[in-house]
Chains A and B, each alone.
Chain A
């Protein structure tokens, strides 16, 4: 089954304790992204990647890191989480190529992060 998986689905942590949220897709997609969703703000893109070792900042990259060492994986790293990073996080992937009919973004199930 084609899917994007995220782990963990729920996480409660404390300020300053480094954490990683994993994201994996099994569709051989080149493009991957991380978003955060906050009430009244919609989804905001944190980072995106266009291929292995190619990443770029989205709208709200401060306080986050990413890496893309393998095509299928795109982990999100919070080196020193703070309470304002409490949010719902989504990973997404899509095929490369703006003109392809299949250029559809597939989302993971979301990770609910609480930073105390």
Chain B
């Protein structure tokens, strides 16, 4: 079945440093979504990428979808303590019921 691998599992950074998490799918995706889960909270939808090679920005967050639509990345510039949480990617296949397959998540720890 479809697998979505996400690395790294954990990332410690000093406040102000950049952060990147990577997602790779074993199969070509229709869409990829990114979610953020704060400690003790629930996942919150951040963004969805649909097009091959697509790049979207939300303030300090940059999301990319690979040309082959099998990988994606989330990059945070100049991290802040409010960025702490676990970032999940979720891949969706076309032609089906759009059931998202989640990566295991990357937990970001920002040290002040």
Q: A and B: partners?
A: no
A residues contacting B by CB (< 8 A) are none
Residues of B that sit less than 8 Å from A by CB: none
